[in-house]
Structure 1
Amino acid sequence: KSVREKDRPDFFVVGEYWKSDYETIADYLEETDFSLDLFDVSLHYNFHTASQQGSAYDLRELFTDTLVSKNPTHSVTFVDNHDSQPGQSLESFVDAWFKPLAYSFILLRAEGFPCLFYGDYYGIQGENPIEGQADNYLDALLYLRCNHAYGPQNDYFDHANCVGWTREGDAQHPYGMAVLMSNGDEGEKLMHVGSQYAGTTFADYTGNREEKITIDEEGNATFLVNGGSVSVWVQDGITPEEAFHEKDE
């Protein structure tokens, strides 16, 4: 409060209050006058459970009892941290196969303030070494967040094992995307990306699918995803420079 009153009214503060039930978190935020944000521990545990249960987990439950679903402007979302990694006091490390899905969830959606774990990006050394995933998928997801995760969001959480959402883009970032993930078999879903994309071709930026998909005149298309995987579809051939700048009138 003192820092903000002096010369930093927008000073960002995040707290680590390791509780996974929303009512306790809500009480904490109220007691601190909503002056700080909190790590979304419930979401982390949902990711961990989902990675452990595989196709038996209902992906529609990822939101259950999470701060990001109930108070997103105070939620700092994360997949893992230094305490949840193997061998540490709060060990609950998300299985490797589910990490791309979890990071897509926190990086490519509108809600929450995502936090990238150093160990996931650069790797972990010591008794429980883990290889960094920068080149495997994290750099691609970070690129997508910076260039395509803007505008209205349309959710398709209508199946236990295959869920997705689209971002339609905005004036400054006019090229949106469609995200589809599965924790079971190969899947597909009809989703709306916006009529402004009618007739254009979309490709999977992750490279997990090789097909090209054409958007219909109403701005819809049936997008595809491999089993136990995630695909992020963007307009084919768009460069970073184009994605960052407003279209010509």
Structure 2
Amino acid sequence: MSIEVKDLCKSYGTQKAIDGISFNASPGSVLGFLGPNGAGKSTTMKILTCFIPQSSGSAHVCGYDVRTNSMEVRRNIGYLPEHNPLYLDMYVRESLAFIGSIHKTQHIDKRIDEVIELCGLGDEQNKKLGALSKGYRQRVGLAQAIFADPKVLILDEPTSGLDPNQVITIRSLIKDLAKSKTVILSTHIMQEVEAICEQVIIINQGKIVADDQLAELRKKHGNKSLEDIFIELTASIVL
């Protein structure tokens, strides 16, 4: 397994953001990580990427413990957060060269050309990031996430702000990347999950309420749409 999470908890004072969650993810498919706002999705992804520590439990990425081997975890992971942080005064190629220098990538110019082609940034590559549309900024964020060819990709709302044609392109890219990588996709767009995810995890109020293959999940719920299943499971816990 590329990702192994066991009894993971994160508390802020008396409030539990995630409460004893466990799951695994392997290469070869895309895992859809779903939940309403405040359910614990972003907290989980921040722990997996070593941005924040857990309160208890364990998480391993490519065999490395996120608490004790954080540098090795970071070498094996690419992360596109929901609010994509970019240096807006940099040019597209300049920003990718900067990422390459951080990772000490060999043949940086060649790799820049490759990710620009993969992410459809050819026409924008000589522009400043601040001059790009939100959709193209999202593409730059994805290019940065895959630049070092990580074994694990964690993508938080990767198609946010993209037009329908761009969405199809990025979906295709994610599916291709998942053939050789472990990909976790967090999104509120159910059609996105149904289009590219094989495994689905639904988290609600810090607890996992579903973890199954998409086809099996629908079968267990009378072949309802994923949207209906999501509403049913996340509305079933009474505050």
TM range (shorter): under 0.3
Alignment TM-score, normalising by the size of structure 1: 0.27
The structure showing larger relative contact order (alpha-carbon pairs under 8 Å, at least 6 residues apart) is: 2
Tell me which structure has the larger Cα radius of gyration.
1
The TM-score, its normalising length taken from structure 2, stands at 0.28
Higher helix share: 2
